Amino acid sequence: MNHKDALLIGIDVGTSATKVVAFTRDGEPLASVSREYPLSSPKPNWAEQDPDDWCKATLGALKEISTKIDPNRVAGLSFSGQMHGSVFLDAKDQVIRPAILWCDGRTARECQLAIDTVGRAEFLKTIRNLPLPSFTLPKILWLREHERANYKKLRTVLLPKNYVAFRLCGAKYMDVADGAGTVMMEVGKKRWADGVLEKLGIDPAILPPVVYSTDVVGGLSAAAAKATGLREGTPIVAGGGDQPVGATGMGVFEEGQVMISLGTSGVVFAPTQKTQTGGEQGLASFDHAVPGLSYLMGCVISAGGALQWYRNTLCGEEIAEAKKSGRDVYDLLLEAAAQTPLGAEGLLFLPYLMGERTPHNNPNARGAFFGLSMRHAKPFLTRAVIEGISFALRDNLELVKKKGVVPREVRVTGGGARSPFWLQTLADVFGVAVRPIENPEGAALGAAILAGVGTEVYKDFAEAARLAIHPKPAVKPIAKNVKMYNGIYERWRALYPATRNLLIEH
């Protein structure tokens, strides 16, 4: 097959849906299909899914895709997947119980048990992170404690997209970019942490072989080929977790580049050549999907979510105006905010509406407007919200810089990347050039790039970035604004410590 004619398929196994996209070598999406499935919450704070729903969605989407492309041109397929979720298989490779997902919060007790048993210092030394309820390790401990009969059946633990791959080609594996988030793998060393597992009484035999995200793990089985219409033996490349694969799709795989994803939450993702220690102040340190790299990652829980709350709660007039004019309500709000002075005349906003992960790691943190005066009309409040979210993201960048990783360019995706006002605010708050990346297909493009590198459609990631990723011009910081924001940021940083002791725990 001529590589120039090759097609690559990216499969993004998400929490609400699986998205399958077929791309040309130049990153052009030829066909895109999404299939949704339910999420179950049988008890408060629980989140579960039937792994077979992921498989049915993937097979159905691939079958539809195969009718829109030439299957013989498909050089390979790969995966992005929701991280940390646990799929428990028995000796016959049957699913024992519904998968426990990343957003499940039942395992706080098991996290503390793991830290008490292994030791905080040992976790940070060996695995470079501490267990959190979203991670996989405490889910295994929960199964042992609360569903003993199911635990006795347990023979294999897989992550969501790895289970889908197993069903497509029969290979059991764990890639380093997703496996690091189990907090059972030695970050940067491509192996399970046998000493930690031994202390916890977990048999390492339940964990599959470790591979790189670009490794070819098998070929499409005859049964899967028949079900999908794709060619039997089509190479399947390992893939990785949604965050590192999403960063791959944005071309963020060099130290000095940073990805910021402005969704409901705000994720700050920074590749690094040096294996770093996470675990402190909500900062994680995992392996990248690009072999040989690690990454630091922080999370602002309410980024776009805080702006959405503000819109829904205080902006009824603007919502009505947007419907009448056929415009986006966020465009109306941010255009008005852009006409107000930088710093909103002293008004500050803390975006901690659902607690905060990085840097405070406090589920009881809460939001606030501070410094209100009679002069503060709604556009001032809007600016304060945008600045407050941007300052919270800078908190994450400051932690990254403390680890010795100096950002030279920040690539931004998500809803906020469409706003010139917000992009300029980010550039001025960070003091670093900000470059928006349009990637409507999300992590599926990153998965396709992994498939291309793994099957040598691209000779390396640099070629993949040159051909398949199309960044827009950078928004550069304005020197006088950077200076002003540096002072406002220090004042903003002082607000949370000053009010923390007044918060009511829930």
Q: List residues with catalytic annotation.
A: 242
Cβ atoms of residues 361 and 282 within 8 Å: yes
Q: Name the one residue in this structure whose structure tokens are 């919502």.
A: 319
CA 488 distance to own-chain centroid = 29
H or E element in which residue 244 lies: helix 242-249
- Residue 358 half-sphere exposure toward CB, CA atoms < 13 A: 27
Cβ atoms of residues 375 and 266 within 8 Å: no
How far, in Å, CA of 259 to CA of 27, rounded?
Answer: 19
Report whether the peptide linkage leading into residue 44 is cis, meaning its omega lies within 30 degrees of zero: no
How far, in Å, CA of 429 to CA of 379, rounded?
Answer: 19
Strands 174-175, 210-211: parallel, antiparallel or unpaired by DSSP?
parallel
Cβ atoms of residues 380 and 401 within 8 Å: no
Closest CA relative to residue 432, chosen from 478, 399, 473:
478
The one-letter amino acid code at 292 reads G
Three-class secondary structure of residue 422 per DSSP: helix
How far, in Å, CA of 80 to CA of 246, rounded?
Answer: 8
Neighbours of 374 (CB within 10 A): 5
Cβ atoms of residues 66 and 229 within 8 Å: yes
